[in-house]
């Protein structure tokens, strides 16, 4: 994505939901990142409500953050029925021992929507072109997505229009989101966000410049900062020539020498690189040690600077090139935000204000870090470049309203202003947190309303809190105030960051609370007690045979004030399970042993038990997940009725124990589900590792009940563990019951040669694609009862012809334009392949034979 200074012109995972996922567990040395991913994968199944997981979802790891204390934060992107979910990213947080501690999530509820568009792509493209102001050079092909930027999912088209802004010089890459039901424009954002020799710079005086010598010529390529280079656009918009010099003395400190502006840009890139590396431990802008290209003298009297996702570009302004160090830090911080947060902080509304605010914050912190006497640190944005022509800065962090447009206090209209002006709320908060309110050395910071004054905690702590919140907690649609998902706010996440760094209800935590209140951003924070403690369980889960017992250590620690007496209790244990504590109460700082005892009559299953510590002043909880094993063997039955409410997802569990090794390729799932409209239902088998196998996906229309046995290839799954039958009612007006189901992991016959291809293959409109499986080492011919299990995501399966192509070119049609407007093909076909040799390259060929719909080959399995 791109950014500008001025407002002028990851492994596909399933949470036991729709998409199939396999994970491989092997004995290996301790690896913190692997352990974090393992813990996060387990949380996807056990805690899907925390990130609004639904049965149409699939997830991909975006990045993993590891804290020094062993805690972890794993970011995921989300798809729904194969469609990208804009605003659906989330973060799984686990403590030092791998225990789940929460999730950052922007969705208010699991997604349940049809993926068939009423508005054609061509209409979306036309609407997007109408939103572009300037000279459009290219209108991209609309992509069907789920727009959940507001916390609720809606089917939409995203179209990218590229060209030049009305000034004729600024590149523009405008993303326009239109409703796929009504055609209305839902929103838009632009990828272009406006805004060692000796160098004689324009703004920094004489400074050292890292360059590269080749022969007898020096080039502005910085070997100390990832080989970032600085080049001359020669007041054009295409060709950029590297600056070279024979004596390694650059510029004169005036505009008369074109090198002078380059010195500022080159040093700005180096200082920004060093700031993020030395202060926050990030290896450069992109996190990979690579340097940033900087392009100066762009356009003709171009009064702007921008980041385009890969490089910096600076205009010359009105005789004052926009190469000041805070501008450089601002723009390149956009690159950091885009790399850290999946999709970046969406560049519109309040999340866009947080995006700009983040760049203002870190741009100014880079200026302080540089500690250059010619341009000392302050809380003004762009004060050196004089865009306004009267010596005033672009923005004032201590009192944002001084620029005449920015919001210094949050209001319900903040989301409607330009992101450079809604950034004022974040800027004002940060100033208050670092320096305090009232008169300061940098200006007077006013208080919003009747909020109490704030005593600052200093820049060092403030910048670390903001970085921690961005790095580990912000999602793409985090905002200041959010009534749909109140936890997905900058206030909540900076408080969590302050807790991580300095402790709950610490001085720093309370300063964050006060600083947000001072800019009129309220929250539903837990009260800070004068005495407080923390509570944790270790281990956080365990498995036991009926009649057995387990223990867990319940630890407490005093986090604020004096120690207090904490008394323990437990809730959520099923019939036949009791929890006792020894001792039953402790003084905070001590621990107790929880003993979980089961009787022989307890029903096998997985049960979350809440451990509560009730203190003299505060109350805290921890969760222990108890798994009660079923009878030894490779099969089990759960006949306990589970109601299926309207528009809800429920599960029923069978615990397999005493079954050696993996399940077989011919495992069976026999289900009896009573329901009055089975076309509403998505039925999945969820393996112990969270992998989901779709058995029934909204087929059958108005027929009653599903009484059927499914054969499933579970050969990649360890047999022992808690298996779940998950049933989602995805439409209104009908309800039902899981009556009974039986899981047999021993299979019903010999295992044949098989293979799976889980790589996604896009199915464009009116096109033919294929996915291959190569079998080798099998003997003889395939069987007369060979099976082809396919998972194809598509919004109109009546368009599709699906064919199995044997190694010798013979074709076997599996699906021929049946199903009309139904979504997706999730089906196992039995095919007589007894005339075909098993070994060779087999292909699943999918033809989209009509216009208006696209899809994806998600995965397919061939068993011969």
Find the Cα–Cα–Cα–Cα dihedral 177, 179, 183, 185, rounded to 10°: -40
Residue spans of beta strands (DSSP E) within 619-691: 619-628, 635-638, 642-644, 649-656, 667-675, 681-686
Nearest to 226 by CA among 204, 247, 210, 208: 210
Residue 325: phi and psi, rounded to 5, are: -70, -35
- Give residues with Cβ within 8 angstroms of 402, minimum separation 6: 396
Token pair 């590149």 is at which residue? 171
Q: 670 with 689: CB under 8 angstroms?
A: no
* Largest Cα span, the chain: 89
Select which of 194, 330, 420, 794 is catalytic.
420
Rounded distance, CA 313 to CA 293, Å? 9
Q: 279 with 369: CB under 8 angstroms?
A: yes
SS (H, E, C) 466-488: HHHHHHHCCCCCCECCCCCCCCC
Length of the chain counted residue by residue: 864
DSSP-assigned beta bridge partners for residue 615 = 566
Q: Kindly tell me the burial class for residue 835, based on how many C-beta atoms sit within 10 Å of its own C-beta (0-12, 13-18, 19 or more).
A: exposed
**What is the dihedral sign for C-alpha 480, 486, 490, 495?**
positive
Select which of 331, 350, 367, 435 is catalytic.
331
DSSP element (H, E) containing 762: strand 761-763
DSSP element (H, E) containing 272: helix 259-280
Rounded distance, CA 160 to CA 183, Å? 16
- Token pair belonging to 373: 């006497």
Rounded distance, CA 435 to CA 430, Å? 8
SS (H, E, C) 169-230: CCEEEEEEEEECCCCCEEEEEECCECCCEEEECCCCCEEEECCEEECCEEECEEHHHCCEEE
297 is catalytic: no
158 is catalytic: no
Q: 376 with 446: CB under 8 angstroms?
A: no
Chain-centre distance for alpha carbon 592 = 37
What residues are labeled active site?
A: 331, 420
């Amino acid at each position: 994505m791109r950014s500008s200074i001025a407002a002028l012109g990851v492994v596909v995972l399933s949470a036991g939901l729709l998409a199939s996922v396999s994970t491989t567990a092997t004995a290996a040395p301790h690896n913190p990142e692997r352990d974090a991913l393992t813990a996060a994968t387990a949380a996807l199944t056990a805690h899907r409500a925390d990130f609004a997981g639904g049965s149409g979802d699939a997830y991909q790891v975006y990045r993993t953050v590891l804290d020094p204390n062993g805690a972890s934060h794993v970011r995921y992107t989300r798809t729904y029925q194969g469609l990208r979910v804009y605003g659906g990213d989330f973060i799984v947080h686990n403590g030092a021992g791998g225990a789940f501690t929460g999730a950052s999530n922007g969705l208010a509820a699991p997604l349940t929507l049809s993926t068939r568009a009423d508005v054609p792509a061509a209409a979306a493209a036309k609407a997007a072109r109408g939103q572009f102001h300037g000279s459009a050079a290219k209108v991209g092909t609309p992509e069907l997505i789920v727009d959940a930027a507001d916390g609720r999912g809606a089917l939409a088209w995203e179209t990218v229009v590229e060209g030049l802004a009305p000034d004729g010089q600024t590149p523009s890459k405008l993303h326009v989101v239109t409703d796929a039901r009504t055609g209305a424009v839902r929103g838009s954002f632009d990828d272009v966000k406006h805004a060692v020799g000796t160098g004689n710079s324009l703004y920094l005086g004489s400074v050292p410049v890292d360059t590269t010598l080749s022969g007898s010529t020096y080039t502005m390529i910085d070997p100390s900062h990832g080989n970032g280079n600085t080049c001359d656009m020669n007041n054009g918009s295409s060709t950029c020539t590297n600056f070279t010099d024979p004596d390694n003395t650059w510029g004169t400190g005036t505009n008369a020498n074109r090198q002078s502006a380059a010195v500022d840009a080159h040093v700005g890139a180096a200082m920004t690189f060093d700031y993020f590396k030395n202060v926050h431990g990030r290896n450069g802008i992109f996190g990979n040690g690579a340097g940033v290209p900087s392009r100066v003298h762009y356009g003709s009297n171009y009064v702007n600077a921008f980041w385009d996702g890969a490089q910096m570009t600076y205009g010359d302004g009105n005789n004052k090139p926009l190469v000041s160090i805070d501008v450089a830090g601002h723009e390149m911080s956009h690159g950091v935000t885009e790399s850290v947060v999946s999709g970046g902080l969406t560049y519109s509304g309040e999340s866009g204000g947080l995006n700009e605010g983040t760049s203002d914050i870190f741009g100014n912190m880079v200026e302080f870090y540089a500690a250059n006497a010619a341009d000392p640190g302050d809380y003004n944005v762009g004060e050196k470049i004089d865009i306004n022509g009267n010596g005033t800065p672009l923005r004032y962090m201590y009192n944002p309203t001084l620029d005449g447009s920015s919001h210094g206090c949050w209001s319900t209209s903040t989301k409607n202003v330009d992101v450079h002006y809604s950034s004022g709320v974040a800027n004002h908060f940060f100033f208050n947190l670092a320096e305090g309110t009232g008169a300061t050395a940098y200006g007077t910071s006013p208080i919003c309303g009747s909020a109490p004054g704030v005593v600052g905690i200093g820049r060092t702590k403030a910048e670390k809190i903001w970085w921690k919140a961005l790095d580990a907690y912000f999602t793409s649609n985090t905002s200041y105030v959010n009534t749909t998902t109140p936890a997905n706010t900058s206030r909540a996440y900076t408080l969590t960051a302050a807790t991580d760094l300095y402790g709950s209800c610490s001085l720093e935590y309370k300063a964050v609370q006060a600083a947000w209140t001072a800019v009129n951003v309220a929250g539903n924070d837990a009260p800070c007690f004068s005495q407080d403690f923390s509570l944790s369980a270790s281990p956080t889960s365990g498995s036991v045979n009926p009649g057995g017992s387990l223990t867990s250590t319940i630890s407490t620690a005093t986090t604020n004030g004096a120690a207090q007496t904490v008394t323990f209790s437990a809730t959520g244990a099923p019939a036949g399970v009791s929890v006792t504590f020894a001792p039953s109460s402790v003084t905070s700082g001590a621990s107790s042993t929880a003993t979980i005892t089961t009787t022989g009559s307890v029903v096998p299953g997985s049960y979350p038990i809440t451990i509560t510590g009730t203190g003299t002043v505060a109350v805290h909880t921890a969760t222990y997940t108890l798994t009660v094993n079923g009878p030894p063997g490779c099969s089990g039955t759960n006949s306990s009725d589970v109601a299926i409410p309207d528009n809800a997802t429920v599960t029923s569990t069978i615990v397999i124990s005493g079954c050696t090794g993996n399940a077989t390729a011919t495992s069976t799932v026999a289900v009896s589900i009573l329901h009055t409209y089975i076309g509403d239902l998505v039925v999945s088998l969820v393996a112990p590792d969270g992998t989901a196998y779709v058995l029934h996906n909204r087929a059958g229309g108005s027929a009653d009940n599903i009484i059927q046995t499914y054969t499933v290839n579970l050969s990649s799954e360890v047999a022992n563990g808690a298996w779940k039958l998950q049933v989602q009612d995805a439409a209104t007006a009908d309800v039902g019951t899981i009556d009974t189901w039986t899981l047999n992991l021993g299979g019903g016959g010999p295992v044949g040669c098989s293979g799976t291809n889980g790589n996604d293959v896009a199915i464009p409109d009116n096109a033919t694609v294929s996915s291959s499986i190569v079998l080798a080492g099998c003997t003889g011919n395939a069987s007369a009862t060979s099976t082809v299990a396919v998972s194809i995501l598509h919004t109109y399966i009546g368009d599709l012809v699906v064919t199995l192509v044997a190694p010798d070119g013979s074709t076997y049609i599996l699906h021929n334009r049946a199903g009309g407007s139904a979504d997706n093909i999730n089906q196992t076909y039995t095919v007589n392949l007894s005339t075909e040799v098993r070994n060779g390259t087999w292909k699943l060929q999918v033809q989209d034979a009509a216009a208006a719909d696209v899809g994806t080959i998600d995965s397919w399995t061939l068993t011969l």
